[in-house]
Amino acid sequence: MTPKPAGPPDGGWGWVVAAAAFAVNGLSYGLLRSLGLALPDLAEHFERSAQDTAWVSALALAVQQAASPVGSALSTRWGARPVVMVGGVLTSLGLVFSAFARSLLHLYLGLGLLAGSGWALVFAPALGTLSRYFSRRRVLAVGLALTGNGASSLLLAPALQFLLDTFGWRGALLLLGAVTLHLTPCGALLRPLALSGDPLAPPRTPLAALGLGLFRRRAFSIFALGTALIGGGYFVPYVHLGPHALDQGMGGYGAALVVAVAAVGDASARLVSGWLADQGWVPLPRLLVVFGSLTGLGVLAVGLVPTAGTEEGWGAPLLAAAGAYGLSAGSYAPLVFGVLPGLVGIGGVVQATGLVMMLMSLGGLLGPPLSGFLRDKTGDFSTSFLVCSSFILSGSFIYMGLPRALPTCRPVSPPATPPPERGELLPVAQVSLLSAGRADSSRDTAC
């Protein structure tokens, strides 16, 4: 038998896995973020309201996240490689099917159900596998993979607008179906890795494979509740930032520029946030509170900016607000997944990733349709962004209940660091808990 390594290799083939996760993230969330540009064309073609067409992206996002525990469970049983490869095929088929839609119901089934199910099989297994390859540089690696979202949005937003103008929404979806088929070779790069913290045998029951027992841990339950609330507003700009720019008086390419500016800020902030978290200067839960709150304020700023002007104008206030939102949201994203090994241990990180995605789907299913409903009632998206920012700020407040999320009142000298295979933030008697991957972190305080 091949002996299990004592810990994650923290490099090597892990960087190949990071590149594969980068592409997976770009072809899932990056594509979902850019699809909002097609919603006005769909509303015009089918003569339906913004609320009705918003369900297309909302269902895709909700199915992708709600079914993520299934992807995690299948990955735990069969390995991430075949699961991600099958998910790539399903995603491509969903987009191709949607290109021939004759009603919104067909789009709900194609983009929402079929493509959403494919995305559910690719994201959590890829990101969970990446977390297993790193320890000291884990959050940086996750941040690098999650920049695929912003980089893809930067490229796909203007490209999709060009495809919509040139080929119409049907041709655009058909070509996107061909592009997303590249998820399959990405899955082939996810080489399995056995670690000392892994369970001795695969879960025997479906409930165990889903990892529902993780909710018995107080810290994970607090984290899950806060993340679910944040999901109610976090994904609204993914769907309605482009249409909001159109409502503000900007043309199609001006709206694409707004999405691209948010994507650039998002991508750059993920790398910086990942590097900062790995330094161990500030505990990860405390960074979650800070950047979650800043994300809520960023969404609030997008809703409060004045009218952009004419179609020929660049809309500087909205561009600045979109950039601020992108920076804050990008800083928050790698922390969500980087903190999981500290909460559940390395052996449960794939299951925890799927569960967090499922909980965020509750907000993802509510947020965009609520935003579309408020737009239909008020005539613009300003109220939508104000309401959704309240969800994000509420979730950030819940995060304050996590271990070491808040400064305390007297210094504690840490004699040892719990091993990352167990979970740095899990309760340990007589041990002061350190930030993930840093044995030399500064002293924290406790009351």
Query: What phi and psi values does residue 383 have, to the nearest 5 degrees?
Result: -65, -35
- Of 76-85, 225-234, 276-285, 358-367, minimum mean pLDDT range: 358-367
Determine the pLDDT at residue 6.
55
Q: Would you say residue 393 has pLDDT above 90?
A: yes
Segment among 175-184, 222-231, 365-374 with least mean pLDDT: 365-374
Q: Both tokens of residue 164?
A: 């919509």
pLDDT in tens, 157-191: 788 889 998 999 999 999 999 999 999 999 999 98
| Chain mean pLDDT for the chain | 81
- State phi, psi for 445 to the nearest 5 degrees: -125, 155
Q: How far apart are CA 366 and CA 231, in angstroms?
A: 9
The share of the chain scoring above pLDDT 90, in percent, equals: 23
- Say if residue 306's pLDDT is above 50: yes
Q: Is the pLDDT at 427 greater than 60, yes or no?
A: no
Query: In this predicted model, what pLDDT tens digit does every residue of 10-26 receive, in sequence order?
Result: 778 889 999 999 999 88
Give the pLDDT confidence of 83-137 residue by residue, as tens digits.
999 999 999 999 999 999 998 899 999 999 999 999 999 988 998 889 888 888 8
Residue 113: predicted pLDDT: 92
Query: Predicted confidence band at 151 (pLDDT cuts at 50, 70, 90)?
Result: confident
What pLDDT is attached to residue 411? Answer: 52
Q: In this predicted model, which residue has the larger pLDDT, 218 or 235?
A: 218
| Alpha helix positions (H), 312-442 | 316-338, 340-344, 349-378, 382-398
What is the Cβ-side half-sphere exposure of residue 339, based on CA atoms within 13 angstroms? 29
pLDDT at 418 > cutoff 80: no
What distance in Å separates the CA atoms of residue 234 and residue 364, rounded to the nearest whole number? 8
3-state SS assignment for residue 82: helix
The percentage of the chain sitting over the pLDDT mark of 70, rounded to a whole number, equals 86
Residue 412: predicted pLDDT: 46
* Neighbouring-strand partners of residue 411: 445
- CB count, 10 Å around CB of 204? 8
| Alpha carbon distance 99, 163 (integer Å) | 13
- Separation between Cα atoms, residue 248 and residue 255, nearest integer Å: 9
Return d(Cα 95, Cα 178) in angstroms, integer: 9
Please tell me the distance from the alpha carbon of residue 340 to that of residue 356, in angstroms, as a whole number.
9
pLDDT for 124 equals 86
pLDDT over 50 at 447, yes or no: no
Give the whole-angstrom CA distance, residue 292 versus residue 154.
Answer: 23
d(CA 264, CA 72): 30
Spatial separation of the C-alpha atoms in residues 137 and 434, rounded to whole Å:
15
206 or 223: which leads in pLDDT: 223
Which pair of structure tokens corresponds to residue 147? 């920049």
Q: Nearest-CA neighbor of 350 among 131, 181, 81?
A: 131
DSSP secondary structure string, 214-245? Answer: GGGSHHHHHHHHHHHHHHHHHTHHHHHHHHHH
3-state class percentages of the chain: helix first, strand second, coil last, to nearest 5: 75, 0, 25
Q: What is the mean pLDDT of residues 34-60?
A: 83
pLDDT tens track for 26-36: 898 888 878 87
Cα angle: 332, vertex 38, 83; to 5 degrees: 60
What count of residues does the chain have? 447
